[in-house]
Amino acid sequence: MVHKWIIKSITAINANNRPGEIAAAITIGLMLGLIPASNITWFVLFGMTLFLKINFGMEMIVLAIVKPFAHLLDPFFDVIGYNILTTKSLEGIFTQWYNTPIVPYTGFNNTAVVGSIIAMIILFIPLWFLFRTLINQYRAGVRDRILASALVKKIKTLPVICQIVNLVSKANEFKNS
């Protein structure tokens, strides 16, 4: 299953269509990777991505890459969350939410959860534009140079890589027809 995600991601990056969907998948994967997964909020956000038109394989690859290192940013998110959760003007709202059924299980009272969600809300659109621009730049010039390099030509001769390249080519032909 993972190899299918990798193949689909490589195909999507190299195809000449919809860089916004790939950028959204990378951004959402990054967002889900940085938000602690021990609460309902994470599962709801993940479930919502199943209904979006994005490259799911790319989202899963980014999530798998980011999640093991997410704890390194927890102190930063903890400071943001602490500042939000200790704001006096929001104390009544948080008390009301805490006394509402199910809401305490969202992790809103966890400083790392709140901090990471607020940071991702603020950064989502700038990151989407950044990744979209990077994908377009990759397609415009970098992709052809990478494919023409001696290292890639040697790697392409490996039997496993030949099979993957054939699958990607077939997938591209199928999409274009």
pLDDT digits (tens, 9 = 90+) for 97-114: 888 888 888 888 889 999
Cα separation, 24 vs 17, in Å, equals 14
Cα separation, 168 vs 158, in Å, equals 15
Q: Is residue 13 domain-resident?
A: yes
Q: Is residue 152 domain-resident?
A: no
Q: How would you class 112 by CB atoms within 10 Å of its CB: exposed for 0-12, middle for 13-18, buried for 19 or more?
A: buried
Q: Is residue 107 domain-resident?
A: yes
Q: How many domains does the chain have?
A: 1
Better-predicted residue by pLDDT, 77 or 97? 77
Q: Is residue 63 domain-resident?
A: yes
> Residue range 33-45: average pLDDT?
89
How far is CA 37 from each of CA 16, 70, 109, 170, rounded to the nearest angstrom? 34, 11, 14, 36
Confidence check: pLDDT of 77 > 90: yes
Quick one: how far is CA 44 from the chain centroid? 15
Which pLDDT does position 16 carry in this prediction? 63
Residue with tokens 């704890």: 71
Range of the domain at 89: 2-141
Which pLDDT does position 83 carry in this prediction? 94
pLDDT tens, position by position, 64-76: 999 999 999 999 9
Q: Is residue 164 domain-resident?
A: no
Better-predicted residue by pLDDT, 108 or 82? 82
Q: Is residue 35 domain-resident?
A: yes
pTM of the model: 0.78
